[in-house]
Structure 1
Amino acid sequence: MTTHLTPSSLTLQIILGDQLLAPVYQPIVNLAEHTIYGHESLIRGPKGTPYHMPDMLFAMALAEDRLNELEFAAANAGIAEYRRAGGRAKLFVNLSATFLVEHYSRHGEGQLQALFDRADMPLGDLVIELTEHDRVHHVDALPRMVEVLRAQGAQIALDDFGDGRSSLRLWSELRPDIVKIDRYFSHGIDKHAAKVQTFKAMLHLAETFGTRLVAEGIETREELEIIRDLGIGYAQGYLLGRPQSEATSVIGGDAQEVLASTDIVVYPALRKVAQTHFSAEKLVISAPGINPKMRNDELIRIFHDRPELHALAVILPEGKPLGLINRRDFIDRYTHPYHKELFGKRPCTAFMDPNPIVVDRHQTLEQLTEILVSGDQRYLNSGFVIPEGGRYLGLGTGEQLVKAVTEVRIEAARHANSLTFLPGNIPTSEHIARLLAARIEFTACHCDLNHFKSYNDQYGYWRGDEMIRLTAGVISANCDVRRDFVGHVGGDDFVVLFQSSDWDRRCEQIVSTFNERALGMFDETALKAGGIVAEDRNGHSSFFPLTTLTIGAVRIVPDAFSRAEDVASAAALAKRHAKQGGGGLWLLDDGRTTPLPVSAPSQVMAAVGP
């Protein structure tokens, strides 16, 4: 063996010839069974040199044009050492698509078969992990190579899916047994709702293709909690086990605690209202465009023959919109005495709005909303012209616009409330369903403000919004962000799903803190009077006490409910009983509602001063 090596004297030939490669093994964990499913064989170069880590080692091989040779040697070393040390779980061996295709084209199946023969392990325990250092250029040849490997008994895994090199086309054409999701999507997933949604989409793909998923790069308890609860089958990362010279049979301690826990983690909430791909194209009404030279007596016949048309666009020969003629305005003016005789043979442009509202086909929901709130309200009567690239497509109506924007906003609010950014009805129901499916005990609470309408009417919607945000802040501050779910289901209604065992103490703190801080949102006159005078629902002047918070709670035990809607209804019933009982915190149990003690806020006069 060569001695006294220095980094400058090292070459790949020396490293391979002197057998200076050393494999290490990182565990891949079966999250459902809490067991080691297999190990990934990783390679290391000579210790104490820049080529110890694989990035520099493979860079050297690339510079010397010996990548295939290094890959084959690394696979040999990894398999041989794994069996020598008694490894019995599945072994993931990295081979690039380039290596497999080129090696097969030069040597056929023989040399690969020799590699497997030397492995002295059941080929059903070997997983060929397809990697690629550059974008795959052999998509057409790969399926045949994969068939050969499968015929020999090996399984196929696609590595680093989503990193820009592994493509959906590869997944679809190769139908790998396993897909390893790039660590980018796992990193910080407990803080990024978009990454949660990405994993959900990949789960759908995996189900379609019959593929198992491995989440790579799991480094924190929070990341593992999300991955586990999403239903990802397998995971790999430092939290579960670091690469070691020998295969381990033990999962990392922190990871074991997470896998043993029955808690259902709270997914990160969207921090803004869910966006939509809605565009003005969906509002297009097919309507003929008319030539600027068309006479008014021809135009009136079109309106008579097409009663459904609210307007007609005047279009230049090249397709550019010139103006808009409102049906009602035209007919009203044209039917005035003598107007038919005066204007019948004149061009229609005499009755045209030369500056109509123009909405390009690709304008977004936000841009359409700006039209609704602008001072130009012509869209209500005349509608608007919809072109694409300057060429006329059709018309839109004000009724369509108002309806579409309203519906999309309502649907978006069901996912995330635009005022508090808390999850709306849909994610709240989804979380209840997850809790029910896990068959664990939890407490469902419905929170509501007392006398909020009178406050909102008295001080205005802006101050009302401040009180709603205060409510959201107080509730969220007193919940465990990883275990307790907070949803804003509309207006001044909030739902909290507690897994925390001290839920009652937290609720007491929520009620007392809100009641205390809400005092600061009233003026001195209201504080001295202990309330405000405002109109009731019948329009009569009435006295309303200061706004306080009510919470109705229901303990949910396994199998007591099967549907999320029933849990929400039970919590809403508890809230109604609580409001009827005078507010505060109430627990609904076996059909009986019991008040729980809550610390009273400071006296109103203390807040006002002497």
Structure 2
Amino acid sequence: MLSKSDLFVLFDALLETHALEYEFQPIADIGRASVLGYEALMRGPLGSALRSPDDLLRVAKSAGRMADLEREACLGAISAFGRVGVPGKLFLNLSGSMIEHFARDNGRQMLDRAQQAGLSPGRLVLELTEHERVEDVEGLQAAMKTLAALGVTLALDDFGDGRSSLRLWVQLKPQIVKLDKYFVRGLQGDSRKIEVIRSVLRLAEVLATPLVAEGIEDAAELAVLRDLGCHYAQGYCIGRPTAAPDVTLPDAVVNVLTSGKISVLPALARPQRIGHSVDRLKVSAPAVEPQLASSELFRIFGANPDLHAVAVVDGTVPLGLVNRRDFIEKYIQPFHRELYSKRPVVQFMNASPICAERSSPLDSLINVLTGDDQRYLRDGIIVTEDGRYAGIATGESLVRAVTELRIEAARHANPLTLLPGNIPLTEHIGRLLHASVSFAACYFDLNNFKPFNDLYGYWRGDEMIKLAAKIVAHHCNPTQDFVGHVGGDDFVVLFQSENWADRCERIVEQFNCEARSLFDPRELQQGGFHSEDRRGFPSFFPLTTIAAGEVSVSPGQFRHPEEVASAAAAAKKIAKLAPSGVHRACLAKVIALREATA
């Protein structure tokens, strides 16, 4: 291992002999499925102790020669790129201070080197790569104005990593912004990253700045970025750095960029929205001191007929809750008024009420609904703010609000199977229709599920639904086929897999076989079961099976997601009556269904 002084000597020799080497990583134009340009990456000589760029930067910083390394790397990369002779733009990593350095002679040093290499200024893109905060923004703006007048482009690198800030984006007005690779890695399975990229793309549209997504490592990430509308892409999936880069993209990359298939995006977990906190339940109500006479509390209830309870407070600190009905029933009994009218209200209060901060999410009160002591639902809840009394809430309002939340949540994701619900399904159909791609909408429904659920109970009914969800999802391609659970025992799959019809048949076959395990031997032996029909009359039902209504959708065949859903539901109704349990709607019927719903 070389000593520090030996590394300094080696470093000086590399710069003096212009011995740095360069590799170039392609950047893809997603819309055109072509190469936009290449990012230059410096290397030390092969076999050298300073081969890696990290070692070069570390030694340069230690020796106080960062500026010398940057200048040599920039000019050397221009010369090397000219020798390679490929078309497209050249992306060069520079600090703000080095950009200002090259602007001091009106870009002469940089442009002379470009001219010698056969490159026009319009092919140079300076990536502002800051490892320290940009202090002199105005100086950098002036430098870029000088270079931009010559045709040189500015790019903001690593946006989102904490150093490349939104403020720099707005102030410097770069022509290109490169998104930090953190937001790209694994985004096909991370709904939060997808929403971040959507937001950045909306910002890029407002600021008229195309976006380069960095760090793309596999085709799934690239496909999602394509569908989100990202402009450019860079990463090992596009191409690795090499001294002699190709002028075209690999066939596998072109196939992804030109594919007519739409990526299946993960569902976004629903956030706790404003208005879904305990404060939503709060009503203003008078509070009383613990020594207040019971006769005075009786008067308060009489003057406030809608008041279901009154909080007892010591100053602003809640002590208990007096339920209206319980208090009045005791107070009006014979002789109780005479006995208790002058006694303090603490004798009638529940000394251990439920207290909830107004900013707390409603879900924090679920235990009130599911607990054994239903007194809390009857008495209500004390609402506080920073521990101080703020109002009360009724158990009825809590039940109503939580029910509304559960219904809304189920529209986004089914609570039993966790599969996407109606809203994500509609959104995905809309994406498919907007992209004018072919797909199949298949509606799966269980036959005789309600009487099965009535006979065996909800637990086994839930097991039946979870079995259906598992089998449907198992036979789908998660990157191409969208599986939705639209309520109860109904599932909808939006297939882009070419063999979708075979997949549907396998789903029906496997479910009809495995569902038999959820029946008792007696029902299996007799081939069905006794239960009540929808009118409440005893009836005999065949064993539960699954039906699949299939609609093949061609570009331009439907205008709205609701039309697709209606056509699939109609096909499902026919499938439930078919011996095979599968019905594929023909084109004429699909058109008729579309016209009927127009």
TM-score of the superposed pair, with normalisation by structure 1: 0.88
Rate the CA distance shift 1:356–1:207 in 2: closer, same or farther, 3 A: same
Q: What is the rounded CA distance, in whole Å, between the counterparts of 1:561 and 1:13 in structure 2?
A: 68
Rate the CA distance shift 1:150–1:380 in 2: closer, same or farther, 3 A: farther
Rate the CA distance shift 1:249–1:397 in 2: closer, same or farther, 3 A: same
> Secondary structure of 2:227's partner?
helix
Q: What is the rounded CA distance, in whole Å, between the counterparts of 1:489 and 1:276 in structure 2?
A: 22
Confirm or deny: 8 A CA contact 2:448 2:542 kept in the other structure.
Answer: yes
User: Offset of 1:589 from its aligned partner?
Assistant: 1.4
Residue identity in the other structure for 2:227: D
Residue identity in the other structure for 1:115: M
Q: What is the rounded CA distance, in whole Å, between the counterparts of 2:302 and 2:505 in structure 1?
A: 69
Confirm or deny: 8 A CA contact 2:263 2:480 kept in the other structure.
Answer: yes
Confirm or deny: 8 A CA contact 2:451 2:531 kept in the other structure.
Answer: yes
> Secondary structure of 1:228's partner?
helix
Q: Which runs of 5 or more residues in structure 2 are unaligned?
A: 591-598
The answer as to 2:199 corresponding to 1:201 is: yes
User: Offset of 1:83 from its aligned partner?
Assistant: 3.9
User: Offset of 1:538 from its aligned partner?
Assistant: 1.6
5 Å-filtered alignment, 1:553-568, equals 553-568=550-565
Q: What is the rounded CA distance, in whole Å, between the counterparts of 1:285 and 1:292 in structure 2?
A: 21
Q: What is the rounded CA distance, in whole Å, between the counterparts of 1:315 and 1:173 in structure 2?
A: 55
Rate the CA distance shift 1:354–1:173 in 2: closer, same or farther, 3 A: farther
User: Offset of 1:477 from its aligned partner?
Assistant: 1.7
5 Å-filtered alignment, 1:381-530, equals 381-530=378-527
User: Offset of 1:447 from its aligned partner?
Assistant: 0.3
Identity across matched positions, percent? 47
Confirm or deny: 8 A CA contact 1:136 1:166 kept in the other structure.
Answer: no
Aligned pair count reads 582
The answer as to 2:291 corresponding to 1:293 is: yes
Residue identity in the other structure for 2:272: T
Q: Give the aligned partner of residue 74 of structure 2.
A: 75
Query: 2:104 aligned to 102, 105, 109, which one?
Result: 109
Q: Give the aligned partner of residue 373 of structure 1.
A: 370
Query: 2:128 aligned to 121, 127, 130, which one?
Result: 130
The answer as to 2:51 corresponding to 1:52 is: yes
The answer as to 2:35 corresponding to 1:39 is: no
Rate the CA distance shift 1:346–1:590 in 2: closer, same or farther, 3 A: same
Q: Give the aligned partner of residue 529 of structure 2.
A: 532
Residue identity in the other structure for 1:545: P
Residue identity in the other structure for 1:264: I
Give deviations 1:433-475, integer Å, cap 9, x for gaps. 1211121221111000000111111111111111111111211
Query: 1:262 aligned to 252, 260, 263, which one?
Result: 260
Give deviations 1:471-493, integer Å, cap 9, x for gaps. 11211222222222211111110
Q: What is the rounded CA distance, in whole Å, between the counterparts of 2:336 and 2:152 in structure 1?
A: 87
> Secondary structure of 1:580's partner?
coil
> Secondary structure of 2:546's partner?
strand
* RMSD (Å) for aligned C-alpha atoms: 2.8
Query: 2:347 aligned to 341, 345, 350, which one?
Result: 350
Q: Give the aligned partner of residue 178 of structure 1.
A: 176
Residue identity in the other structure for 1:375: D
Q: What is the rounded CA distance, in whole Å, between the counterparts of 1:486 and 1:116 in structure 2?
A: 56
The answer as to 2:24 corresponding to 1:25 is: yes
Q: What is the rounded CA distance, in whole Å, between the counterparts of 2:394 and 2:401 in structure 1?
A: 11
Q: Give the aligned partner of residue 192 of structure 1.
A: 190
> Secondary structure of 1:250's partner?
coil
Confirm or deny: 8 A CA contact 1:357 1:378 kept in the other structure.
Answer: no
User: Offset of 1:288 from its aligned partner?
Assistant: 3.8
Q: What is the rounded CA distance, in whole Å, between the counterparts of 1:571 and 1:7 in structure 2?
A: 74
Confirm or deny: 8 A CA contact 1:275 1:412 kept in the other structure.
Answer: no
5 Å-filtered alignment, 1:86-97, equals 86-97=85-96
User: Offset of 1:117 from its aligned partner?
Assistant: 5.1
Q: Which runs of 5 or more residues in structure 1 are unaligned?
A: 1-5, 594-610
User: Offset of 1:520 from its aligned partner?
Assistant: 1.5
Confirm or deny: 8 A CA contact 1:534 1:544 kept in the other structure.
Answer: yes
Rate the CA distance shift 1:536–1:164 in 2: closer, same or farther, 3 A: same
Rate the CA distance shift 1:131–1:403 in 2: closer, same or farther, 3 A: farther
Worse-matched range after superposition: 380-389 or 232-241: 380-389
Q: What is the rounded CA distance, in whole Å, between the counterparts of 1:405 and 1:97 in structure 2?
A: 54
User: Offset of 1:504 from its aligned partner?
Assistant: 1.6
User: Offset of 1:514 from its aligned partner?
Assistant: 0.8
TM-score of the superposed pair, with normalisation by structure 2: 0.89
Q: Give the aligned partner of residue 569 of structure 1.
A: 566
Confirm or deny: 8 A CA contact 2:103 2:147 kept in the other structure.
Answer: no
5 Å-filtered alignment, 1:200-349, equals 200-246=198-244, 248-269=246-267, 274-276=270-272, 278-317=276-315, 319-349=316-346
Confirm or deny: 8 A CA contact 1:416 1:422 kept in the other structure.
Answer: yes
